[in-house]
Amino acid sequence: MTRNIRPALLVLQDGSVFEGEAIGANSSEISAPVIARGEVVFHTGLSGYQEILTDPSYAGQIITFTTPHIGNYGTSAADSESSKIFARGVIVRELARRRSNWRSDDSLDSFLKRHDISGIAGIDTRRLTRVLRDSGAMPGAFGTASESELRQAAAKEKGTAGRNLIAQVTTTKSYVHGAGKFKVVAFDFGIKTTILNCLAEFATVHVVPASTSAAEVMALSPDGIFLSNGPGDPEMVHGAPATIRELFGTGVPMFGICLGHQLMALALGGKTFKLPFGHHGANHPVRNLATKSVEITSQNHNFCVDADSLAGKAEVTHVNLNDNTNEGMRVLGANAFSVQYHPEAGPGPHDSRYLFGEFVSRMEAK
């Protein structure tokens, strides 16, 4: 398969410039010049580009894939984690010209066009990753516009710190997923389809908007409460920590993942901070402090819980072996626990699926 090549540029806020070619939306030679801007991050997973792109947690970000060949196996409608792409754009070294997978129903390039998402290929992603590793995730802009226009756009981009992105991803109306034994109320801060499917294996899941009050949750008589993943700065999700704090007192088992973990920490009076370049990949080693075992985990977050701020309020249960940051906790005095990583691991390893079993055990005991 051949296609016309339209030159494009990527410009970071520090002035770094990368030459490439436009892919996805607006890559046609007859399209008007386009600019995509956001916080540029890198992901180290070898596969799962479709699941990563459709993960609502990437709202506001431009995703750099460090794997050199992307798009080899195309895309499949069954593999999307949400109904759309919330990321601002995609950066790759080389976009596969052909897809080879019996499950595939579309190419990655066509998938991006259908979702109106721009990308840039031909980028030296090794060099770009080194820049982000040394300087941290930073705002940037790419597209077919002039270099001066892209520099202006990159300079104006504010990144994800200090921004509440939940309104872009949460459901506006409650809905039910699955028909399992237990009744679980799941806060949608940007929930992934794979998480819903994991919960549906044992529960009827009532998915509610992020702004749902504690009284509204308890009116549903839940056996368990789930706090989902999501994008942006946890300290900007106003109202959620107070709601979670109120729900602690009900005794209903509570399980949080990713942003849900961070919000649970804020509800305890803890603090969060922004990581230099975040954790984005499917190969992060995490130690379970109780069992001493190491789990290979799938991760996607820019912010982290300050473990010291939880002293006397929660017990740290998991630690990232790459940088010793907090990856999990058990709340003292409440029936609640959480992890920073993604035990549903779609895509990725399944080392941490036991956490859903722990949630079930807590609901059975209750």
* Burial label, 318 (beta-carbon count in 10 A; 0-12, 13-18, 19+): buried
Question: Measured between alpha carbons, how far is residue 306 from residues 137, 236, 261, 278, 347 in Å?
Answer: 19, 16, 12, 14, 27
Strand segments (E) across the chain: 7-12, 17-24, 35-43, 61-65, 69-70, 89-91, 94-95, 118-121, 138-143, 175-177, 182-188, 203-209, 224-227, 254-257, 272-288, 294-305, 314-320, 326-331, 336-339
Phi/psi at 146 (5° precision): -70, 160
| Nearby residues of 330 by Cβ (< 8 Å), 6 or more positions away | 314, 315, 317, 336, 337
**In sequence order, what DSSP letters do the residues of 237-282 get, joined into one string?**
STTHHHHHHHHHTT---EEEETHHHHHHHHHTT--EEEEEEEEEEE
DSSP-based three-state secondary structure for 56: helix
User: 354: part of which helix (H) or strand (E)?
Assistant: helix 354-365
Q: Are 285 and 352 in contact (CB under 8 A)?
A: no
- Positions marked active-site: 258, 342, 344
Nearest to 198 by CA among 336, 323, 345, 321: 345
Strand order in the sheet with 336-339: 175-177, 203-209, 182-188, 224-227, 254-257, 336-339, 326-331, 314-320, 272-288, 294-305
